[in-house]
Amino acid sequence: MARIVGGIGTSHVPAIGAALDNGISGNDYWSPLFAGYARARRWIDACKPDVVIIVYNDHASAFSLELIPTFALGVAETFAPADEGFGPRQVPVAQGHPELAWHLAENLILNEFDMTIANVMPVDHGLTVPLSIMFDQPAAWPVQVIPLCVNVIQYPPPTGKRCLALGRAIASIVASFEQDLRVVVFGTGGMSHQLQGERAGVINQAFDKAFLDRLADDPDGLAEIGHVEYIREAGSEGVELVMWLAMRGALGERAKEVYRHYHVPASNTAAGLVILEPV
Ligand code: DHB
Ligand code: FE
């Protein structure tokens, strides 16, 4: 049977991808951040997942503001990097896992999580940067990828509570898939940041650290954080953290933190990375 063997919460700052793409990840600005990724890469190398489910958000790349699904599940054979204005990143095309993706689609929808089904979905930095963080720049990603896209850019985004419940549903659906697969779930985005308006550049380290402290043992408490509190405490883009709650939900009732890295600043954000394992 398929099994969820780990969860990764990580920022998806586009400049982190650009640092790798432009060969400057070792310079004075970026090296402290990348130094913290080395241990995360060793963990996933040892963990050897077959499939990763990446809960992330699109930034008006695959979906323009004309059409915004709250949750979109990628069931395609492949997912190409999106053109975000400077041409697509020169990273591998992600290979999907249509059988597991359709198993998720069927069981989520029949259990009343009304997913949009995406047969074509270019993937932007919300998905490709976390892959680069974990796998560097290989010729092909060493895992199959199921993208699960969440709207956090147009009000109203789903609540943290709904994302946690979605993750919990994913846990039981993956466990009912008959192939022997090792599955890791990613939640990407955050941590505190604001890219626009008067408070552009806001970072709240106390909020971020408390979120990390509570993620393994108190996801239901974190799920009570509402949108206004995210905006007030973590900036207008801090709401991306709801995707970390989907990841946490997918690990089941009990989880333990095996690694944490937190670094300020990375571009306009506080960059966080956490690795959790189910207990
Ligand atoms: C930045 C961070 C993000 O999460 C994002 O989606 C875009 C930009 C930034 O810090 O520049
Ligand atoms: Fe983002």
Longest dimension (CA), the chain: 51
pTM: 0.98
In this prediction, residues 4-11 reach a mean pLDDT of 98
Does residue 59's CB lie within 6 angstroms of at least one atom of ligand 1?
A: yes
The hierarchical CATH code for the domain 49-196+204-259 is: 3.40.830.10
Give residue-wise pLDDT tens across range 228-263: 999 999 999 999 999 999 999 999 999 999 999 999
For ligand 1, say whether the CB of 195 is within 6 Å of any of its atoms.
yes
Nearest CA to ligand 1 atom 1: 13
Residue keyed to tokens 């009343």: 112
Report the C-alpha gap between 207 and 192 in whole angstroms.
Answer: 8
b/e for 227-262, b at 16 or more Cβ within 10 A? beebbebbbbbbbbbbbbbbbbbbbbeebebbebbb
Residue-range domain boundaries for the chain: 49-196+204-259
**In the prediction, which pLDDT does 5 show?**
98
Candidates 12, 191, 267: which one to mutate for ligand 1, based on the most atoms within 8 Å of Cβ?
A: 267
Give the model's confidence band at 88: pLDDT under 50 very low, under 70 low, under 90 confident, else very high.
very high
11-34: pLDDT as tens digits: 999 999 999 999 999 999 999 999
CA-proximal residue: ligand 1, atom 6 (nearest): 13
Cα of 13 from ligand 1 centre, angstroms: 4
Tens-place pLDDT, residues 127-163? 999 999 999 999 999 999 999 999 999 999 999 999 9
Q: What is the mean pLDDT of the chain?
A: 97
Q: How far is CA 223 from the centre of its chain?
A: 17
pLDDT score of 53: 99
The alpha carbon of 113 and the centre of ligand 1 are apart by a number of angstroms equal to: 28
- Strand-pair partners of 224: none
pLDDT > 90: what percent of the chain?
A: 100
